[in-house]
Structure 1
Amino acid sequence: MRQIPVDTSAAMLMVAQPPQPKIKDRRTGEIAVDLETGAQLATIDVVFLMAGVAEVLSVVVPQPGVSGELVMGAPVAITGLIARPWENEFNGQKRHGISYRAAAFTALTPAPVKA
């Protein structure tokens, strides 16, 4: 599967929705796990602001890669963000999109306000 590295160095990143378990099977509630490590996966919605454009991305990350308090509006750093184009066909209808995965999310403390 093709993976495209995403450069976040010029972007401002904020938590839109805190981490939620990534559900593998909605019927059973089974939580998805990383195939390499066996770690449970979480989904974090993040506001990606760059060049005057804001987008909300849903990013999958292994639970051990989540550090700090990731509350709504908190600034974050994302390590190892990649985009993966995908396409599938179901009942004769083709669907496609881009999924995002990261190695880690780290909460950033806002800079102190100078008086």
Structure 2
Amino acid sequence: MGRLLLDTSRVSYEVAVNPVPKLDPQGQQKFDRETKAPMWAVELYALSEGAAEVIKVTVVSPTMPAVTVRQPVNPVELEAMPWFNERDGKARHGVAFRAMGLTPLDTAAA
């Protein structure tokens, strides 16, 4: 199945929670299977006309994204990854978000 890349042109993004290393259950930083790059967890405000929500995004990058709370950013190759699991007879599902980077936007030029 191909990647489900999102059109980010009509949505603005702002850092809600600073990036931190994405950890496995043993407390070790996770690495991407394909690129072998470290993974970082960040929460973004996603703001579009008439709607807003906070999304958790896994960023795959050799270095922690150099962004801070309230900073406008553009997610690079933002991908939606629907998921489903069943445990103890209970079905759970959702959408995970992943990006290959976060590009800070220059607000001084606006």
Normalising by structure 1, we get a TM-score of 0.86
Aligned 8 A contact 2:38 2:63 in 1? no
Deviations 1:26-78 (A, max 9, x none): xx2021111012111001100000012111000001133755x3111000011
Normalising by structure 2, we get a TM-score of 0.89
Q: Which residue of 2 aligns with 1:22?
A: 22
Unaligned ranges ≥5, structure 2: none
Aligned 8 A contact 2:61 2:100 in 1? no
Aligned 8 A contact 2:18 2:43 in 1? yes
State how far apart, in whole Å, the 1-side matches of 2:62 and 2:103 are.
11
Q: State the AA in 2 paired with 1:13.
A: Y
Task: Work out whether 1:108 is the aligned partner of 2:105.
Answer: yes
Q: Which residue of 2 aligns with 1:10?
A: 10
Q: Equivalences for 1:1-115 in 2 at 5 Å?
A: 3-25=3-25, 28-64=26-62, 67=65, 69-112=66-109
Unaligned ranges ≥5, structure 1: none
Aligned 8 A contact 1:3 1:85 in 2? no
- Quote the RMSD (CA, aligned, Å): 1.8
Aligned 8 A contact 1:66 1:104 in 2? no
Q: Report runs of 4+ in structure 1 exceeding 6 Å deviation.
A: none
- Structure label with greater radius of gyration: 1
Question: Shift in Å at residue 112 of structure 1?
Answer: 4.6
Q: State the AA in 1 paired with 2:23.
A: I
Q: What is the aligned residue count?
A: 110
Percent identity between matched residues is: 35
Aligned with 2:62: secondary structure?
helix
State how far apart, in whole Å, the 1-side matches of 2:24 and 2:61 are.
15
